[in-house]
């Protein structure tokens, strides 16, 4: 068995504005219809932008994460004994608990949240909490895969959550990061920024041996991963995509796959002018002219930016798209941008021509990740 086949995804679950469940997420992104609406969860009076992609009737973040973990372990077919040895890697915003929180029901602090979730869901292995902004979840997956491939762990549940709340919304609004025209337009001319979206997701990662021993179905393999920094700026990405390019190269190297194997990229592209151009530059640097010949999309244009959870939500999109054989489109397209010379899927889904795909994420601090996943 090749190294790239050693880490299996055996369960996925997601909650977003597109609905509850991984199937709702896939169906929603394949329509290409943006889920942004006026925010009703809290008061947006005085904000420049007043829309986001939110799911009505959500619970607290702790309750939604508990439900997601319970759901994914059932989907993966894990019994109580299987859960008892499983680690939990959690990706969420650091600091005080995120809203929405009922006034009389204090949420656990972030470090306590992981133990709280593990206890409620019967996961008895180690816990770890990632607060690395928008690469929190993808870093957690990379670390989990590395620990499984090395033989340190057999099974890890990776969970991530962000529910649109007033504090981050106000911060993104104040930073003029939100799309003033109410639409996310990744890689397109005329893009004006990102929009926030709910995202709570969970996946089960297992070693191939353990998954085979219990006869678990493989949704996808995590064939490669990479993490690298730009060393450029506290908040802006390197204009040439330096760190992201090195993350992609590391993922390809670990997977032992040639450039031509990659048949789809689920891009980080937030719809932000300089950030999308930086990502396009990274892909050009790694793939050269080939970068314009494989399909790319950013489903943030449909489900919004789920911040710390975005890497896991988009991983679920990517593996389900590969399994379905259909690649999701990018919404919001106006016209080509010469700084983003990529084959952006727009208007309608496309059939997948390869079983290997990259999902990319980038964050403040010049943090970059690449996950390379393969259909079973």
Partner 1 sequence: MLAEARWPEDGDGRAPALPGFVHSEFAPLVAAVAERCLARRYGSGPLPAGNRTAVLVVSASGDTAGAAHVRATVAAGGRVGPLFFFQSVPNSVAGHVAARWGLDGPVVCLSPTGDPRAEAEAEAELLRHDGDAAQALLILIELAPDGTPGEATAVLLGEGTRQ
Instruction: Using the Cα atoms of residue 107, residue 109, residue 112 and residue 118 in order, give the sign of their dihedral.
Output: positive
CB atoms within 10 A of CB 96: 11
The distance of closest approach from Cβ of residue 148 to partner 1 in the complex, given in angstroms and rounded to an integer, is: 12
The distance of closest approach from Cβ of residue 268 to partner 1 in the complex, given in angstroms and rounded to an integer, is: 14
β pairing state of 350-351 and 220-229: unpaired
Query: Encoding tokens for residue 335?
Result: 């016209």
* Window 24 to 53, contacts with partner 1 (CB under 8 A): 43, 45-46
H/E run at residue 363: strand 356-363
- Separation CA 200–CA 90 (nearest Å): 11
CA nearest 290: which of 225, 343, 354, 254?
343
The distance of closest approach from Cβ of residue 132 to partner 1 in the complex, given in angstroms and rounded to an integer, is: 4
Taking the least distance from each CB to partner 1, the nearer of 35 and 251 is 251
Residue in 4, 191, 227, 305 binding partner 1, rule: CB under 8 A: 227
The distance from CA 287 to its chain's CA centroid, rounded to whole angstroms, is: 22
- Separation CA 184–CA 197 (nearest Å): 11
The distance of closest approach from Cβ of residue 170 to partner 1 in the complex, given in angstroms and rounded to an integer, is: 5
The distance of closest approach from Cβ of residue 75 to partner 1 in the complex, given in angstroms and rounded to an integer, is: 25
The distance of closest approach from Cβ of residue 10 to partner 1 in the complex, given in angstroms and rounded to an integer, is: 22
By CB under 8 A, which span of 17-25, 68-76, 145-153, 261-269 interacts with partner 1? 145-153
Taking the least distance from each CB to partner 1, the nearer of 233 and 290 is 233
Q: What is the DSSP string of 150-166?
A: HTS-SEEEEEEEE---H
Q: What is the DSSP string of 98-126?
A: PSP--TTSPPPPHHHHHHHHHHHHT--S-
SS3 137: helix
Residue 51 exposure: Cα atoms within 13 Å on the Cβ side: 17
Residue in 12, 132, 221, 359 binding partner 1, rule: CB under 8 A: 132
The distance of closest approach from Cβ of residue 78 to partner 1 in the complex, given in angstroms and rounded to an integer, is: 21
Residue in 33, 74, 84, 95 binding partner 1, rule: CB under 8 A: 95
Q: At what angle do helices 310-324 and 22-31 cross, to 10 degrees?
A: 80
> Does residue 150 bind partner 1 (CB under 8 A)?
yes
Q: Total residues contacting partner 1 (rule CB under 8 A)?
A: 55
Query: Encoding tokens for residue 339?
Result: 């700084």
Taking the least distance from each CB to partner 1, the nearer of 95 and 256 is 95
* Window 65 to 94, contacts with partner 1 (CB under 8 A): 93-94
Taking the least distance from each CB to partner 1, the nearer of 179 and 363 is 363
> Does residue 158 bind partner 1 (CB under 8 A)?
no
β pairing state of 356-363 and 262-266: parallel
> Does residue 180 bind partner 1 (CB under 8 A)?
no
β pairing state of 19-20 and 7-16: antiparallel
Taking the least distance from each CB to partner 1, the nearer of 162 and 187 is 162
* Window 231 to 290, contacts with partner 1 (CB under 8 A): 231-235, 242-243, 246, 250
> Does residue 109 bind partner 1 (CB under 8 A)?
yes
Query: Encoding tokens for residue 183?
Result: 């639409």
The distance from CA 78 to its chain's CA centroid, rounded to whole angstroms, is: 23
* Contact (Cβ atoms closer than 8 angstroms) between residue 4 and residue 145: no
The distance of closest approach from Cβ of residue 94 to partner 1 in the complex, given in angstroms and rounded to an integer, is: 4
The distance of closest approach from Cβ of residue 292 to partner 1 in the complex, given in angstroms and rounded to an integer, is: 27
> Does residue 228 bind partner 1 (CB under 8 A)?
yes
Which residue in this structure is represented by tokens 């680690």?
Answer: 87
By CB under 8 A, which span of 186-194, 207-215, 230-238, 267-275 interacts with partner 1? 230-238
State the residues that interact with partner 1 by CB under 8 A: 43, 45-46, 93-96, 109-111, 114-115, 127-133, 135-136, 139, 143, 146-147, 150, 166-168, 170-172, 174-177, 226-235, 242-243, 246, 250, 363-367
């Amino acid at each position: 068995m090749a190294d790239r086949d050693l880490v299996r995804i055996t369960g996925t679950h997601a909650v977003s504005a597109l609905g509850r469940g991984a199937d709702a997420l896939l169906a929603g992104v394949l329509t290409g219809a943006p889920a942004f609406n006026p925010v009703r969860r809290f008061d947006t009076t005085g904000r420049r932008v007043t829309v986001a992609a939110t799911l009505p009737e959500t619970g607290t973040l702790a309750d939604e994460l508990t439900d997601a973990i319970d759901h994914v372990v059932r989907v993966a077919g894990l019994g109580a004994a299987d859960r008892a040895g499983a680690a939990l890697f959690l990706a969420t915003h650091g600091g005080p608990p995120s809203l929405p929180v009922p006034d009389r029901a204090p949420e656990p602090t972030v470090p306590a949240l992981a133990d709280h979730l593990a206890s409620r869901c019967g996961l008895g292995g180690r816990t770890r909490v990632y607060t690395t902004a928008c690469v929190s979840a993808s870093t957690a997956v990379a670390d989990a895969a590395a620990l499984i491939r090395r033989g340190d762990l057999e099974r890890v549940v990776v969970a991530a959550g962000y529910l649109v709340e007033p504090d981050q919304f106000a911060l993104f609004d104040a930073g003029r990061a939100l799309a003033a025209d109410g639409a996310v337009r990744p890689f397109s001319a005329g893009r004006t920024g990102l929009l926030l979206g709910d995202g709570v997701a969970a996946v089960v990662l297992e070693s191939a041996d353990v998954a085979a021993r219990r006869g678990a179905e493989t949704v996808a393999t995590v064939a490669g991963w990479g993490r690298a920094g730009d060393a450029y700026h506290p908040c802006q990405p390197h204009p040439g995509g330096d760190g992201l390019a090195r993350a992609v190269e590391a993922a390809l190297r670990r997977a032992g796959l040639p450039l031509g194997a990659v048949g789809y990229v689920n891009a980080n592209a937030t719809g932000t002018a300089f950030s999308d151009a930086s990502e396009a530059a990274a892909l050009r640097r790694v793939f050269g002219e080939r970068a314009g010949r494989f399909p790319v999309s950013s489903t943030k244009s449909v489900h919004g930016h789920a911040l710390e959870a975005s890497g896991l939500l988009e991983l679920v999109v990517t593996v389900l798209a590969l399994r379905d054989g259909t690649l999701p489109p990018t919404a919001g397209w106006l016209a080509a941008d010469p700084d983003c010379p990529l084959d952006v899927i727009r208007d309608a889904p496309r059939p997948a021509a390869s079983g290997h795909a990259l999902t990319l994420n980038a964050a403040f601090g010049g943090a970059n990740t690449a996950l390379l996943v393969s259909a079973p």
